[in-house]
Amino acid sequence: MGASQPDPYVNATLDLKGSLEQGGQLFRINCAGCHGISAQGHLGPNLLDVSERRNDAQLIKQIVSGNTPPMPRFQMEPQEMADLLAYLHSLN
């Protein structure tokens, strides 16, 4: 990913404090089918320690872009994205 452009969605998300509990729920509903119930990897890659490999802007882009099929593009409110990031940060 190149130089980061100011992105209002990313900025709005990063201004919010995420809820780990809500994020875990969103993950189980939207992501666990491919990434595994504990993010251990399945059809999609293992996401443990993913926040050490990718910064938040990169994670958000991955989730909303749909650039890497079969992973779909997700549209969610900044608060939901902040919750999901809180969950991704907790994976290790």
Q: Does the protein bind ligand HEC through residue 48 (CB under 6 A)?
A: no
Nearer to ligand HEC, 2 or 70 (CB): 70
CA dihedral 19, 26, 13, 46 (to 10 degrees): 100
Taking the complex as a whole, the smallest distance from the CB of residue 69 to ligand HEC amounts, in Å, to 8
6 prior amide bond cis, ω within 30: no
Interface pick for ligand HEC out of 10, 13, 23, 50 (rule CB under 6 A): 50
Interface pick for ligand HEC out of 2, 6, 8, 70 (rule CB under 6 A): 70
